[in-house]
Amino acid sequence: MSITAKIQKPIERISQCDIFKDVDVVEYVKETEGKVIVSTLHFPMVICLNQDCDLNSDFRDKQEEHSNKNCRLLHLIVAPIFNFDEFLKGEHWGDLFMVAPHMKRKDTAVKKIMNNDDPRFRGCKLNCVKACS
């Protein structure tokens, strides 16, 4: 059996599961002595988790000249994507958290992750990532 897909025109908007490179996410904002301090977290890659219908409504609403703005999204929901080898070394969070224990591909827990049998993780092979900038 073979699986085929129709070739579609490129979509001009953000879609669910789009991958973005080099993203800074606001961790917190505070005011100190009259100055606004914004702390950000940097992620090498993130994936968009918003539902595609909401992203489409947001895009469509922004195209309308006299929009009532009731379909606009306040923000994108993203989750970090980690390199699997860095994950195995426990270094995937960088300086944000302590280094996790080193794991090996032959470990049962790692095999469950690789087979997508662990609900906390989703593994996928990205041989050629063409991410948005």
Mean residue pLDDT across the chain: 83
Count the Cβ atoms, other than its own, within 10 Å of residue 24: 10
* CA nearest to 22, candidates 42, 39, 48: 42
pLDDT tens track for 24-47: 999 999 999 999 999 999 988 899
Contact assessment for residue 47 and residue 19, using Cβ atoms and an 8 Å cutoff: yes
In sign, the C-alpha dihedral spanning 54, 55, 57, 62 is positive
Q: Of the ranges 2-16, 32-46, 48-62, 93-107, which one carries the lowest mean pLDDT score?
A: 2-16
pLDDT tens track for 75-100: 899 999 888 888 888 877 777 777 77
pLDDT of residue 55: 94
pLDDT of residue 98: 72
Grade residue 133 by pLDDT with cuts at 50, 70 and 90. very low
pLDDT of residue 109: 84
| Identity of the residue numbered 59 | F
Contact assessment for residue 7 and residue 23, using Cβ atoms and an 8 Å cutoff: no
